[in-house]
Amino acid sequence: MRLILLGPPGAGKGTQGLILTQRLEIPKVSTGEMLREAVVAGDAVGLATKSFTDRGLLVPDAIVIEIVRRRLMQEDARSGFLLDGFPRTVNQAVAVEAILIEQKQRLDAAVELKVSEAEIVERISNRRVCPNCVERSYHLQLAPPRVSGHCDECGSTLVQRDDDRAHVVRARLRTYQEQTSPLTGYYLERGLLVQVDGLRPVDEVTASVLTALEDRARAG
Ligand code: AP5
């Protein structure tokens, strides 16, 4: 299955992406995670990236599209994948289509998690992440670590993401409205859009996504 997970910052893309890829046995391809790894590694992509992510702006299409192109060429992504946080512009959406056409493949669905702005602010201000376990994120109230302030997996001290500071979050929301929200119409026109209420508890959101995907598959 080839899926795209859409939604504003804090909608739950990373959380659902992790669960869905385990259930569907496909790799999760998260541009946010790949860019953060590049920043930690201090490589060329990382150096080019941080000035954009720290201001809540999108990293230029050319950089991100190339990262995704290379990732989708890897063997484990040949039979399916879930893209988390990509595409974020119409230009990126066109690029995914082109990559898939080269591979003689097509997308199965673009799943959009719908959440209110108030919920986004609440979730992001409560989010803490592990600096070592890239995919591991916690919600201080709803999904806290077992030992306060420390990662369940490796015990490291949890931190707030640099781009989760309030003024950067406001910029990320603006960027989303201006550059990413047009993708809803883009995938609707192509008959690929699946919209799910992302305000409900994590397991209920997962169940809604899986049910919607099964319904689509049955409908052919
Ligand atoms: P990225 O890492 O993709 O950030 P984002 O899209 O802003 O999304 P987040 O990671 O903030 O949130 P999420 O939707 O994954 O929510 P999560 O599951 O963590 O991108 C970061 C930056 O990189 C961008 O700003 C940009 O600069 C750059 N970038 C990335 N991709 C790019 C691209 N394609 N092009 C250009 N630039 C790009 O959940 C949030 C919190 O809520 C957590 O604490 C979680 O525990 C909690 N939570 C999750 N679900 C629920 C629920 N159902 N109920 C209650 N709490 C929940």
Q: What is the pLDDT of residue 75?
A: 94
Residues 6+ apart with CB under 8 A from 214: none
How far apart, in Å, are the Cα atoms of 11 and each of 35, 84, 137, 218? 19, 11, 13, 27
Q: What is the pLDDT of residue 220?
A: 75
* pLDDT averaged per 10 residues, the chain (length 220): 96 95 96 92 91 94 96 94 98 96 94 95 93 85 94 94 91 96 97 97 97 91
Q: What is the pLDDT of residue 42?
A: 92
Tell me, using a 6 A CB cutoff, whether residue 125 lines ligand 1.
no
- Sign of the dihedral defined by the CA atoms of residues 193, 197, 198, 201, in that order: negative
Nearest CA to ligand 1 atom 32: 31
Q: Among the options 161, 165, 200, 216, which is catalytic?
A: 161
Q: Which of 21, 31, 138 to mutate to test the pocket of ligand 1 (most atoms within 8 A of CB)?
A: 31
Distance 220 CA to ligand 1 centre (A): 31
Helix, strand, or coil here: 196? strand
Tell me, using a 6 A CB cutoff, whether residue 45 lines ligand 1.
no
Rounded Cα–Cα distance for residues 54 and 47 (Å): 12
| Structural domains present in the chain | 2-26+79-219 (3.40.50.300)
Nearest CA to ligand 1 atom 7: 9
Active site residue 146: no
Write out the DSSP string of 94-150: HHHHHHHHHTT----EEEEEE--HHHHHHHHHHEEE-SSSTT-EEETTTB--SSTTB
Amino acid identity of 191? Answer: G
Distance 9 CA to ligand 1 centre (A): 5
Q: Which of 5, 6, 13, 94 to mutate to test the pocket of ligand 1 (most atoms within 8 A of CB)?
A: 13
